[in-house]
Structure 1
């Protein structure tokens, strides 16, 4: 994310009155606020309108800090993408499009400045599919970004909604792989009594959101209609893989409820190691669960996920479980772990010309 953002409530009449994300620098009264070095070396508070959301450290917005931490933990290259709360799917399209362009231009500038350390993903304003296709083309053709990150739902609409068909077609045409990340923060807003305690929206809600997104995509025939799509789901697909047996049984015993739009392809058919549509990241914090998902989808479809630089990720050392965990080392060969650490991401993102 950038270290600062324009006030999008003032960018157009449609944006006024909306609660936009704004970034507020801290503890700068004794410094020169025009000094970019100072601005990038202090924590930033994120607000939604006037409501505090979270504090982020410089490693969230300063590539120089990131590179120092990468060097310290043996990370050669990062794939960088937008913080999900900045998707702004619930905002009016004109200012939201300006925000998205700002975010994509920033990510592209970081990749341009440090081409050997960062690979960038775009974001798009999916509340307007036509605008999203325009931005997707700009991200690919003008900015050189290598994929696109989207949420697990768009303003309450599941990803199997027919209005998203032109977006899937554009991703196929442009060969833009898709990283799908849950939102989480919306659950507590919808029902604070249910999701507000024990960090439940993040610990339980996010994996559930991801499972629902996979369920919608695999049950709806999207991948039959768009066989060239490549999708990677965050956090090892959330709750989907542990529920696969139950979902497949539902597909078999109640096809009228589950299989009516699948065009004859069952959930288990999609999660095979030879398929080329579905990838999962490795962020599970549990060697046994990593072993399970590898048995279900194959280690060649697992991409190292870090959730860097947030506390639910592998911090302070991204990839620690794959590189240092003795149990994981006994489960998988060095070659297999190397593929999960790097090779599979190169394949998913089509980075053969770079690496």
Structure 2
């Protein structure tokens, strides 16, 4: 029987939904049944879907794209999520929260993170990988990174939509739908997020802020599969650092399994990544909790990990990273 599961990349929509944001999700809304209903539910339906996937605790975060609408909109979304977490705490305590932040306004993002952690009880933040094409390695983000390190909470760096300028890399002699897919979940989301981590390293951020805890999803956003090459080439001309990339990867980066339901990438990850930095996640509702459970069952039977290692990936590593505990009545899965 698989162990209970704790997931970290699980999304919702605050209401009212900005019309432009809903339009960005037109492809997903067209192809994923009941997606909007699932995104806007922070109650019974979400809990039923968690039960179907053996999930004991879900860390909920806003779906990508909201940050562009500013600090007030992000604050309202965090308040809505905090209400849902508090309401569920009174029933079973199966929700926790990651804050959404206005990353186009670094000082405002820092202030809202402090509020979300200290006042709302959130366990960290999940932020878009860029804000209108701007990554977070510039000096203007020092105030933001200072807050992240000071609060000692993890930051989940999550893919987001390509800008029009970025889209030029993906358009070609094929349909616009294919280009949009390549730029997003088909490839570009993951390569761009991996690139962002490399940019942060090259900027010296991890020397200035050695306590940072960065989470990246989708089996490590391509980094584990290029790790040895990055490690060697980053020593040639990227700069002089107190810790090399491999050390930063081992000490400051955690990866999740979200939405990548194959054992093939995990075989690579288990060979070059600390086991205590591997976390289970689903990417609900863009992937089903049942798909994730099937993958866990396949992993359990594969012989790639033993029972204790499986428990660590399923929930133990996340408990330590986030400072949370599974609800007391979640001793295992029923199916």
When the two structures are superposed, what TM-score results if normalisation uses the length of structure 2?
A: 0.82
Q: Which residue of 2 aligns with 1:107?
A: 81
Q: Distance in 2 between matches of 1:83 and 1:306?
A: 13
Describe how 1:104-253 pairs up with structure 2 within 5 A. Answer: 104-115=78-89, 116-186=93-163, 190-191=167-168, 193-194=171-172, 196-197=177-178, 199-201=181-183, 202-252=185-235
Q: Which residue of 2 aligns with 1:351?
A: 324
Which residue, out of 278, 284, 289, partners 1:302?
A: 278
Deviation at 1:200, TM superposition (A): 1.2
Structure 1 pair 352–68 and aligned structure 2 pair: CA distance change class (3 A): closer
Which structure: larger Rg? 1
Asked if 2 retains the 8 angstrom alpha-carbon contact of 1:248 and 1:268, the reply is: yes
Q: Which residue of 1 aligns with 2:241?
A: 263
> Structure 2: which 5+ residue stretches go unaligned?
1-11, 30-34, 329-335
Deviation at 1:86, TM superposition (A): 1.9
Q: Does 1:85 align with 2:65?
A: yes
Instruction: Please list the CA deviations of residues 103-155 of structure 1 after superposition, one character each: whole Å capped at 9, or x if unmatched.
Output: 10111111001121101000111111111111112111221111011122222
Deviation at 1:100, TM superposition (A): 0.3
Asked if 2 retains the 8 angstrom alpha-carbon contact of 1:2 and 1:106, the reply is: no
Deviation at 1:216, TM superposition (A): 1.1
Deviation at 1:206, TM superposition (A): 1.2
Instruction: Please list the CA deviations of residues 71-114 of structure 1 after superposition, one character each: whole Å capped at 9, or x if unmatched.
Output: 222211111001002222xx5xxxx1111011101111110011
Q: Distance in 2 between matches of 1:138 and 1:329?
A: 43
Asked if 1 retains the 8 angstrom alpha-carbon contact of 2:53 and 2:293, the reply is: no
Asked if 2 retains the 8 angstrom alpha-carbon contact of 1:281 and 1:302, the reply is: yes
Asked if 2 retains the 8 angstrom alpha-carbon contact of 1:279 and 1:302, the reply is: yes
Describe how 1:278-293 pairs up with structure 2 within 5 A. Answer: 278-283=253-258, 284-293=260-269
> Structure 1: which 5+ residue stretches go unaligned?
8-18, 22-45
Q: What number of residue pairs does the alignment pair up? A: 301
3-state SS of paired residue (1:280): strand
The one of the two structures with greater contact order (alpha-carbon pairs below 8 A, sep at least 6) is 2
Q: Which residue of 1 aligns with 2:55?
A: 75
Deviation at 1:344, TM superposition (A): 0.9
Q: Which residue of 2 aligns with 1:58?
A: 37
Structure 1 pair 126–328 and aligned structure 2 pair: CA distance change class (3 A): farther
Q: Which residue of 2 aligns with 1:331?
A: 304
Structure 1 pair 6–79 and aligned structure 2 pair: CA distance change class (3 A): closer
After superposing on structure 2, the runs of 4+ consecutive aligned residues of structure 1 that deviate more than 6 Å are: none
Asked if 2 retains the 8 angstrom alpha-carbon contact of 1:127 and 1:154, the reply is: yes
When the two structures are superposed, what TM-score results if normalisation uses the length of structure 1?
A: 0.77
Asked if 1 retains the 8 angstrom alpha-carbon contact of 2:99 and 2:122, the reply is: yes
Asked if 1 retains the 8 angstrom alpha-carbon contact of 2:67 and 2:131, the reply is: no
